[in-house]
Structure 1
Amino acid sequence: MMHEPQTLVPATETKMTARDVNVFYGDKQAIKGVSIDVDMDNVTAFIGPSGCGKSTFLRTLNRMNDTVASARVEGTITLDGENIYASSMDVVQLRARVGMVFQKPNPFPKSIYENIAYGPRIHGLASGKADLDIIVEKSLRRAGLWDEVKDRLHDSGTALSGGQQQRLCIGRAIAVEPEVILMDEPCSALDPIATAKIEELIHELRGRYAIVIVTHNMQQAARVSQRTAFFHLGELVEYGVTSDIFTNPRQERTKDYITGRYG
């Protein structure tokens, strides 16, 4: 008797892969043998207690750890199959393709317009003012900020509220046409209303960019992500479908963290 084949989860487009990644700061090992895939169709959340390595690992995905003299990264990380730690990799170009949004909003001390226009200008994405105007409007619309700032584009970006500044930083990342957006606790400095707007924005950006978010807030991870990776003491303990991680974790350490036994 023939059995019907099991329905498989449709394959998604893998954007970045990490294999056996170790990170050292001097003699101290911060990341131990992490392997993970990041795809285009799902928002991936990294969760875990403070100091577990989730932000350190996030920073390996666009070589932000290069800025730390004592940091050393081992293993392989690829973007579209290309090793991002290869000597031939242009790090400036990599960071345009893999954008980063930090915990504390950090707009440039320039106008709202110039915050967005700066990246496209230095990367040669615009041939003139008319092109830049289009990029600025499109980026601010995608960042959910256009209607709030369109009449004051020449005001300083630092004059915006914290939540608006964070959306400006997301718009700034989007403006250089990235493929991946990394977010390192993007809401931790924001109030609940501003946080809700950023979460809504993440939903809207999903599928257009591969998105990875580090968050301390487990409810946030449950709300915004479809894949969750649980880090503990520098190890990737468990990685899977977000709803499974939160309702039926396979690892005892994950269960302890989710249920609040430690963290």
Structure 2
Amino acid sequence: MADAIAHEETADPFADAGPAKMSARNVSIFYGDKQAIDDVSLDIHTQYVTAFIGPSGCGKSTFLRSLNRMNDTIASARVKGEILLDGEDIYRSRLDVVQLRARVGMVFQKPNPFPKSIYENIAYGPRIHGLASGKAELDQIVEKSLQRAGLWDEVKDRLGDSGTALSGGQQQRLCIARAIAVDPEVILMDEPCSALDPIATARIEELIDDLRGRYAIVIVTHSMQQAARVSQRTAFFHLGKMVEYDKTSEIFTNPREVRTKDYITGRYG
């Protein structure tokens, strides 16, 4: 009985996390008649990097894209339930989606720098959102963003060069710097290392660790090793459902659900 009570008292993996930055409540996502996500509820906190894992086609990227309404670009997509940012529903009518995506940035699987200079890749967002009062302030934002992305020392003498001329790993860090430049609160990463070599992957993982606590970070990854390295909380998705959400250490060493254990141990996926 005492063991049961102790387990119950420590069952909440977010008890020390304070208010959630984002919350999903009973979220289901459909593409036409096909249901891709079924009744998912979870909280995302700034203190933790949160990883979404699961086999291909399980819905983890679909759910990630719903967190900044990227699914709006697909005509057949519809979302039921609530997704809250600081307690406000991001799917409410008349929401400024452009402003939402500044607050909740996205880094995609394949690096996608603009066909502009390195400087303009970073300056574009702050300029259109009115975050800089002049060239000097814009210069500061560019430098600060590149520094936070661990790229400044590599590109500071060639800011006029095209962003597409950088290596794959540098391009991905440029895209992270571009997301940071508009002062977001949440950064979503959809398999950001899948197209990168091991050295570039290690740099991105170091960067994620450096950024933790400054932004709420959510990463979708096919690599369980990566999830174990970079995250503190992990959600396991399977067939459109969130099977389990817990401390990363618990998910990988002591999962509660049989399906989670089977996936972690390589029995499917």
Name the TM tier (shorter chain).
Answer: over 0.9
Aligned amino acid, residue 163 of structure 1 = G
Query: Structure 2 CA distance, aligned partners of 1:13 and 1:147?
Result: 36
Task: Quote the sequence identity (%).
Answer: 83
Q: Could you say what secondary structure the match of 2:136 adopts?
A: helix
Cα RMSD for the two superposed structures: 1.0
Q: Deviations over 1:172-214 (max 9, x none)?
A: 0000000000000000000000000000000000000000000
Matching of residue 114 in structure 1 with residue 126 in structure 2: no
Q: Where do 1:125-144 residues align within 5 Å?
A: 125-144=131-150
Displacement, 1:89?
1.3
8 Å CA contact 2:17–2:45 kept in 1: the answer is no
Query: Structure 1 CA distance, aligned partners of 2:46 and 2:31?
Result: 31
Match of 2:39 in 1: 33
Matching of residue 194 in structure 1 with residue 200 in structure 2: yes
Aligned amino acid, residue 149 of structure 1 = V
Q: Deviations over 1:78-132 (max 9, x none)?
A: 0000000001311000000000000000000000000000000000000111011
Query: Structure 2 CA distance, aligned partners of 1:231 and 1:10?
Result: 24
Query: Structure 1 CA distance, aligned partners of 2:49 and 2:17?
Result: 15
Query: Structure 2 CA distance, aligned partners of 1:199 and 1:89?
Result: 33
Aligned amino acid, residue 100 of structure 1 = M
8 Å CA contact 1:52–1:232 kept in 2: the answer is yes
Aligned amino acid, residue 155 of structure 2 = V
Could you tell me which of 163, 168, 178 is aligned with 1:172? 178
Displacement, 1:19?
0.4
Q: Deviations over 1:211-246 (max 9, x none)?
A: 000000000000000000000000000000000000
Match of 1:259 in 2: 265
Could you tell me which of 88, 93, 98 is aligned with 2:99? 93
8 Å CA contact 2:17–2:47 kept in 1: the answer is no
Query: Structure 1 CA distance, aligned partners of 2:64 and 2:164?
Result: 26
Match of 2:6 in 1: none
Query: Structure 2 CA distance, aligned partners of 1:157 and 1:108?
Result: 7
Given the two structures, how large is their TM-score scaled by the length of structure 1? 0.97
Aligned amino acid, residue 114 of structure 1 = E
Q: Which runs of 5+ in 2 are unaligned?
A: 1-8
Query: Structure 1 CA distance, aligned partners of 2:73 and 2:167?
Result: 29
Given the two structures, how large is their TM-score scaled by the length of structure 2? 0.95
Query: Structure 2 CA distance, aligned partners of 1:79 and 1:138?
Result: 26
Query: Structure 2 CA distance, aligned partners of 1:247 and 1:12?
Result: 25
